[in-house]
Amino acid sequence: MQFHLYCGEGKGKTTAALGQALRSWGHGWRVLFVQFLKDAEAQSGEVVAARMLGRNWRLLRASLPCPVLRRPGPRDREKLRRATLKLLEDALREARVGRYDAVVFDEVLAAWKLGLLTVAQVRNAHRELSSCGTKLFVATGRWAPKSLVALADLVTEMVNVKHPFDKGQRASDGIDY
């Protein structure tokens, strides 16, 4: 199994993962795209597109008990940790049953950095996916721990040179989500 990491401060990690997953899907691969830290109730372009891609493409998200980016307090943080762990467990169960060729863990590195998952849990997921026949595992997020960088076959770091957010512009549908 190949393991790809798309990390760094720049825009494009999820977009690169979606592009890789779409390429795999185009070759007849079954794709499981798991979005950590993105609420199941939130709309985005990838949710709409996933519905159109048919049965060989599955998108999983968790119902998040509170917004992730608003600095949750200890109680909410624990609820987020539990929701994130449940999503990880659901994803691994789905991967075992569904026999997915490509599995993407979008923003799993951010979930680690926020203390919602451990590196050991991500490494165990890698090991389990490898043992159930997955051909490609992709993980994304800003921060990549050294042990995952060492484990990965491909690491691409996105560098922020210039971004509309730097001028205070808000996220745009169709561009940023």
Where along the chain do its domains lie? 2-167
Confidence class for position 68, pLDDT limits 50, 70, 90? confident
At 96 the pLDDT is 94
User: Alpha carbon 171 to chain centroid distance?
Assistant: 19
pTM across the whole model: 0.93
pLDDT in tens, 21-30: 999 999 999 9
CATH architecture for the domain at 2-167: 3-Layer(aba) Sandwich (3.40)
Contacts of 134 (CB under 8 A, 6+ apart): 1, 95, 100, 101, 102, 103
pLDDT in tens, 5-21: 999 999 999 999 999 99
Between 45 and 122, the higher pLDDT residue: 122
